[in-house]
Structure 1
Amino acid sequence: MSVTTAPHLNFRGDAREALEFYQKVSGGDLAVITYGDMGNAEDPDQVVWGQVRGGNGFHVMAYDVPAARPFSRGDDPFFVSLRGDSAEEISALWDKLSDGATVVAPLAASPWAALYGMLKDRFGITWVLDVAA
């Protein structure tokens, strides 16, 4: 079992451009899933999830905040992503991080992961936890 952390960068419409830039910077592999790929007709070309991962350890994730959700680049520019191999591992981390936290999305099954959840901890840091697909 293992857990990895990565910065999860938030954009409004330019996540793909940023990820392509970070790919050029790092030489890593690019993966992008759009809202359209997930069956969402609203903003179908926007990035629902993307990442650049290099063999040298470089790793960033990113997405385009949906238009229906408030967003200010200066107020919420990133999340910290915790990805684990097992539901037990992620659930245990969730239970500890949620002490004094505000739950943004409850830890539950999602279309892209066995478990996915988001919370803002008592220090104001937003964490995204999921089980690797």
Structure 2
Amino acid sequence: MKVMVMVKATKDSEAGVLPSQELLTAMGEFNEALVDAGIMEAGEGLKPSREGARVHVNGKDRTVTKGPFIETNELVAGYWIWKVSSLEEAIEWVKKCPNPMDEASDIDIRPIYDMEDFKDVDTDGKCQDQEEALRHTIAMRQAQVNNYLFFSGCCDDALAFYQTHLGARVDMLLRFNESPEPMPEGMLPPGYEEKVMHCEFTIGDMTIYASDGCGDEGEFAGFNLALTIDSEEQARQVFDALADGGTVRMPLEKTFWSPLYGQVIDKFGMGWMVMLPPVE
């Protein structure tokens, strides 16, 4: 079951009094224990009600009232979302919680409805299907998508090249002979033991994954990496570097979407679209 654990507001929290360093540390350690136990799914502190608003709903009417609100004992100053086996387990965890305030405080525990609770109302299951679809959409919108490049044996050379000409930063690199588990027999070509099994590098604000793969992975096809640079001088310098030993597919020139845009395949077979940002 899931529960929301709510730290009720106090006079000090509504006044915006921040917790002490000692209390922050204690709460941090408690949160670590929750995470280690696989219980905590979310948790945040809330600013005083004077920085919020309340919307009163009456039929089609909506009345907005700006904070602060006077019912301090009814307000929430922070919350957790926990996944526990029972209300009793949640109670035991709350008993272990440091006092989240520097004064007497209350912590409420409320079970969260599950769609199973509405089965007598949602008799055809349509609402449950909608809920599951929404959860999937939310999960996918929070997912991360990264390019994964296979350099067929020349990953080290490509990384050195991108570090020199594109300011790439290698954040992590693992070679096949450093794998925590041995590679299956016959999977690697001879001499590939010191090749790159996996690495992560950053160009600008983009993180790229790369590997030498397990041999000839074929050509990069069907996509390009788009590189937007603010400076025309730097864009031309980068384009020329990528073109050295590579192939220019479209020279840098003005387009309707960019003051300067060009396409080039570098000497490792990677396609790039180099451009300036559009003029606003």
Give the TM bin, normalised by the shorter chain: 0.3 to 0.5
Q: Which of the two has greater helix per residue?
A: 2
- TM-score, length of structure 1 as denominator length: 0.45
